[in-house]
Copies of this chain bind each other. A is one copy, B any other.
Amino acid sequence: MSRKNIETRNRILESTWRLLETDPGNDVRMSDIAKEAGISRQAVYLHFPKRADLLVATTRYLDEVRDIDARLAASRAAKTGLERLDAFIQAWGNYIPEIYGVAKALLAMKDQDEEAYNAWQGRMQAVREGCEAAINALDRDGMLTNALSKKEATDLLWTMLSVRNWEQFRSECNWTQARYIDVTKASARKVLVADGA
């Protein structure tokens, strides 16, 4: 029982997640989380010195519980570049709604808090690597459009798959999750794949 009490720690993470899931945004205060976890506000600070630490830890916790690695494995196993592109969009696109609450809170902090900024940046970098791998697979198949460099193609796919875009389609435009996935897959192909294919 080295690092405090692991049970309490997990209860805090679960509470944070639950609150952010039902009410995405920054309206979730440290005291709310403490109340939800059934402990004092100070106990939260005992485990997570800063709010940013807590949010970062919550995303890591979620990644572990929801096993994001296993999900992305499918896209890595794809044979063709097109399959890999589809599989990646499907895996990541369906993961976004599960982390959206926490992601939004982290996103809101990233302009004020250095640590939150780095944490978010790191996670997005991981997504970017997935995009890059898909682009490389497309290129290997000779399917990549010649209108874009590999870096540009990666940037473009990465931006298409941003949490903000998902948010806009789902919340602002009232698209269904399934439609979001389908249209994103189709758009990615049209934009990234060479014409005569």
Contacts and interface: CB of A to CB of B under 8 A. Distances in A.
B155 A169 contact: yes
Interface stretch (A40-48, A136-144, A160-168): A160-168
Interface string A50-84: 00000000000000000000000000000000000
A175 B147 CA distance: 15
A186 B187 CA distance: 12
A143 B165 CA distance: 25
Contacts of A152: 175, 179, 183
Interface size range of chain A in the complex: 20 to 34
A115 B165 CA distance: 23
A159 B168 CA distance: 7
A25 B155 CA distance: 23
Contact of A183 (B26, B108, B148): B148
Contacts of A108: 108, 111
A26 B191 contact: no
Contacts of A27: 111-112
Nearest to A152: B183
18 contacts: A26-B111, A26-B112, A104-B111, A108-B111, A147-B186, A152-B175, A152-B179, A152-B183, A155-B169, A155-B172, A155-B173, A156-B183, A158-B168, A159-B165, A159-B173, A162-B168, A190-B190, A190-B191
